[in-house]
Structure 1
């Protein structure tokens, strides 16, 4: 499976396109595109690589990861897939953004399909699975592709850091426990693609992350 990263909006968020080079099926994860130019960048990539959007996935439902959900859902006829435990955040997107002095423009896309720990997806012949990592938000999920050897950690685990827990529903102790139980137990060579910032590896975080 191939993975391409885009950095969208003013925070900036890592938006990932996961795609199978044979079937051309793809998943868009954390569609944070805020500006029309960012929407165009994502659409051009999909078109240029002749990809078929199969999934719209959210690691969690904080505003900065959700700016582009309505665009992707409308453009490609897919439903937003996210955890039921984060659904309570949707009506407060504008308030979330306002804290950072940002206007949430456009539509708020509802969850079209609930997913959770153990949910599996296929792109071509390869399977990936959702892993629950609550703490940054109650419904935070990571997406693991064991055959390709990478995990998308959302805002749970970063390079030598972890997600903040001062937003509604955040829980520091729960975040530490879920990372240790559900992420650090992955093979040490697993590449971690976080919701912000550069990638890292499970082994490095297990050994050196000062928060863990």
Structure 2
């Protein structure tokens, strides 16, 4: 069985996810810790859950989702995994953070493992399928566990909304087309965990999301 523990970090209220199995292995998805106390909270929660970090997964590489990448990578010896299409954003992290009044000493590490549409990522006995949906960012991906009916959607899809497309590399048409052709075809009872805000389901978004009607 799959369990998901969301932690909300940084001024953007970003959802960092601890995704873990009954066997005690976990993936850390989109680590967004900016402050020391946020790093401590992540470490404490992982210890409290008694899980062992095995994967560092990134749905995309916008600043609010990568602030804790270096910490997690070095603390737990994990290679960041993301889509190559977002790598250009890594070199902009420090300056982008400064533009929002956030002090960051260094850019995060570039992804050591590139994930593409259709790839599969294993966490214990659980398999995640990588679904590429560009538009919020060129390399935006979601992680889908068919067995557990869970979608880790990053900033592609939100409860009642979709990701913004006015940032570098954004494209609203690509985003909407990708959501409709690759996410809305999933079963209605799939639970969606977005990069910000509350969880939702595919069925709810099909029925009520004004951007998809």
Please name the residue that 1:72 is paired with: 72
How far apart in 2 are the matches of 1:88 and 1:207? Answer: 36
Q: How far apart are residue 161 of structure 1 and its match?
A: 0.4
Distance 2:47 2:80 in 1: 20
8 A Cα contact 1:61 1:86, kept in partner: yes
Contact persistence 2:14–2:195 (CA under 8 A): yes
SS at match of 2:113: strand
Residue-pair matches, total: 211
Tell me, in whole angstroms, the C-alpha distance in 1 between the residues paired with 2:127 and 2:77. Answer: 22
Is 1:186 aligned to 2:182, yes or no? no
Secondary structure of the equivalent of 2:109?
Answer: coil
CA deviation map 1:157-194 (0-9, x unaligned): 00110111111000000000010011111100111110
TM-score (norm 1): 0.96
Report deviation, 1:211. Answer: 0.7
Root-mean-square deviation over aligned CA pairs? 1.1
Matched, 1:104 2:104: yes
Asked if the contact 1:62/1:96 (under 8 Å) is kept, the reply is: no
> Following the alignment from structure 1 to structure 2, what is the Cα–Cα distance between the partners of residues 42 and 53?
11
> CA–CA distance in 2 between the matches of 1:48 and 1:209?
36
Contact 2:93/2:107 (<8 A) preserved: no
CA separation in 1, counterparts of 2:167 and 2:103?
Answer: 18
Q: Which runs of 4+ in 1 moved over 6 A?
A: none
Partner of 1:35: 35
Q: TM-score, normalised by structure 2?
A: 0.96
Residue equivalent to 1:15: 16
